[in-house]
A and B are shown apart, each in its own frame.
Chain A
Amino acid sequence: MFGQIEEYFRTSLDRWTGMLAAHVEVSLLALAIAAALAVPAGILCARYERLKGPLTGLFGALRVVPSLAILLLMLPVLGTGTAPAAVALVLLAVPPVLMNTVAGLESVPAPVLETAAAMGMEERQIWQKVRLPLAMPMILAGLKTAAVEIVASAALAAKIGAGGLGELIFTGIGLFRTDLLLIGGGSVALLSLLTGVLFELLDKLLLKYKNV
């Protein structure tokens, strides 16, 4: 077994790095789009109470649909390749970021916002200097959940031709090659773990005040 794995890396390292790069690429793309949609949506929800119910409800419901189902449902609409995979992953990633953004913004203590206003901060300044920065830890936690979920689910995206480490897994299943399964599965697991660690580091780096 180990011989086969070693053999694979000796002969096909380029293929592996190519798949790894594709995996990271589609994951990053999905995460960036999800953040660009969900953080502003969360801000809107926290600002306009009426939007909160419908928006969080909609994405909450979408979250219940299994990721594989979303991927396959996207097939007739967007065809195969990176784009439909990214769309499916975005749908998967929006709920945790949206929910955490709303929760983070709502968790800022009322007295803090009140004293900010009483010192003559304008609405925009209160958001920029106080409310968003204080919601940051929870927004980051939402992004972390989303990123880990994306990296894991991106393996499924190989089913619709998006490439990535999932290819190795599906090839392994098709050919009964345990070594390919182990390399593919192990790589995805390690990438997931690494993503989590990266977000932990980011949290420590950006939010020094929490760790004093």
Chain B
Amino acid sequence: MTAIEFQNVSKRFPGAGRNALEDLSFAVSEGEFVTVLGPSGCGKTTLLKLINRLYEPDSGRVLLFGEDIRTADLVQVRRRTGYVIQQIGLFPHWTIGENVATVPKLLKWDKARIEARTDELLRLVGLEPEEYKKRYPSQLSGGQQQRVGLARALAVDPKIMLMDEPFGALDSITRGKLQRELLTLHRETGKTFLFVTHDIDEAFLLGSRVLILDGGKIVQFDTPEAIIRCPAQGFVRSLVDAAKERGRFWEAYL
């Protein structure tokens, strides 16, 4: 089953000299973990926001499980996609428990069910409910806040997870830990992940396939092994070379 499909999607922002995304077509199967890799301004965040309709394309279609999202109900599209961003965007005036319960509350679940789901989600992301539920976001570290962001996005079990550099602002130890946990979560839930990053190591570590974007166009979309074996063009080659260079730098010290 195809979870996400782009058909000739283009997007231009008012006043911009060129298209942010240029005639993009690709498909992601259900259960895949796709990372979107590219430099700043390559259009990767735009690509993500077209899927939950924070942006609308100028031409082309985006389909989720075969359904054109433009004709689907906007709120339904957003409930079916979990959204996690680098700035996290927790509601500072709500406790951790209230943040995680945002969507269940919008859906008017009964109290006991919300309570049970909140506890379950917090445990899933490695936060003890009794300890954290009553706290406010400002009382948590960046890594803990992002765990809450993830729990909140998972609340009503969306089939698709959209993540925009979620670990970009975290220290490397916390990032590594969360990356491994995310892979476990992906394995256990079988959800479809679309994960945007500008970090090639992160893209190749997490992605079952990597979509490389440059200047609003797809440069290569393949498994990490295939990309490393035969990088498509100058741009991908320079990315891979830069990563190898870093590897050699570290080896010199080991």
Residues of A within 8 A of B (CB): 109, 111-112, 114-122, 125, 129-130, 133-134, 207, 209, 212
Contact = CB atoms under 8 A, between A and B. Distances in A.
B66 interface: no
Given A114-B54, A114-B89, A120 B106 contact: yes
Interface in B64-78: 74-76, 78
Nearest to A112: B89
A117 B136 contact: no
B106 A115 contact: no
Interface of A is mostly: helix
A133 B89 contact: no
A125 B34 CA distance: 32
Contacts of B153: 119
A131 B93 CA distance: 11
Interface of B: 52, 54, 74-76, 78-79, 81, 83, 85, 87-94, 102-103, 106, 135-136, 138-139, 149, 152-153
A112 B149 CA distance: 11
B215 to A, nearest CB: 25
A115 B92 contact: no
Nearest to B77: A120
Contact of A119 (B76, B88, B102, B136): B102
B155 to A, nearest CB: 8
B54 A117 contact: yes
A122 B75 contact: yes
Given A111-B85, A209-B138, A212-B138, A119 B106 contact: yes
A121 to B, nearest CB: 7
A134 B89 contact: no
A136 to B, nearest CB: 8
Contacts of A134: 91-93
Contacts of B54: 114, 117-118
Contact of A130 (B74, B75, B91, B103): B91
